[in-house]
Amino acid sequence: MTRALSTDLRQRALAAVASGMTRRAAASRFGISPSTVIRWVAEWRASGRDHALTQGGDRRSHRVEAWSDFLLAAIETKADISLIELAEKLATEHGVRFAPSTIWRCLDRHDMTVKKNGARQRADTTRRRRAARGLVRQSA
C-alpha cells in the first residue's frame, strides 16, 4: 500500500491553487498528478482540512472494549468458558454481538491467554495427562 504524500507538499499545492494557479498547473509545478490536486482542493473546500487522514490501524476495538469488564468477570466466574460461550452470553444478556475472534483479540489485549496443556502436546500415554486449565493472565 502506498503512503500519503507529505503534508508540506499538499499545503504548498493548496496555497498555489488558492493564489490563482489552476489545479493542473499546480500539479505540473509540484510533479504530482492532476487528479491528486483536484481531490485535495475538493477536500480542502469541503472540510477545510489541509492534511491527510491517518491510514490503517484499529478503528473498532472500542466497541468490544466497552464490554471487557463483563468478559473478564465472566472468565473469573467460570475459568473454562469458551469464546463462543462468551459471545453467546453477551448476545443473550446484553444484546450485543461480537465474533469469537473479536473477543479473543480483546482478551489478548488484556493479557489473557489459553494456558497450553503439556500433556496434549505429547504423543504419550493417557495416564500422564492432567485436566486442561482455563484462561489465565500472562505475567509481564
Measured between alpha carbons, how far is 81 from 134 in angstroms, rounded to an integer?
Answer: 7
CB 41 within 8 A of CB 17: yes
CA-nearest of 90, 130, 138 to 114 is: 138
Residue type, 33: S
CA-nearest of 110, 129, 127 to 118 is: 129
Q: How far, in Å, are 45, 89, 123, 135, 137 from residue 116 at the CA level?
A: 56, 24, 15, 9, 13
Average pLDDT over residues 74-81: 89
pLDDT tens by residue, 6-36: 999 999 999 999 999 999 999 999 999 999 9
Q: How far, in Å, are 14, 47, 59 from residue 55 at the CA level?
A: 21, 18, 10
Q: What is the pLDDT of residue 126?
A: 58
Confidence of residue 133 (pLDDT cuts 50, 70, 90): low
pLDDT at residue 122 greater than cutoff 70? no
pLDDT tens by residue, 61-76: 899 999 999 999 999 9
Measured between alpha carbons, how far is 126 from 44 in angstroms, rounded to an integer?
Answer: 68
Q: What is the pTM of this model?
A: 0.50
Higher pLDDT, 94 or 128: 94
Average pLDDT over residues 38-49: 96
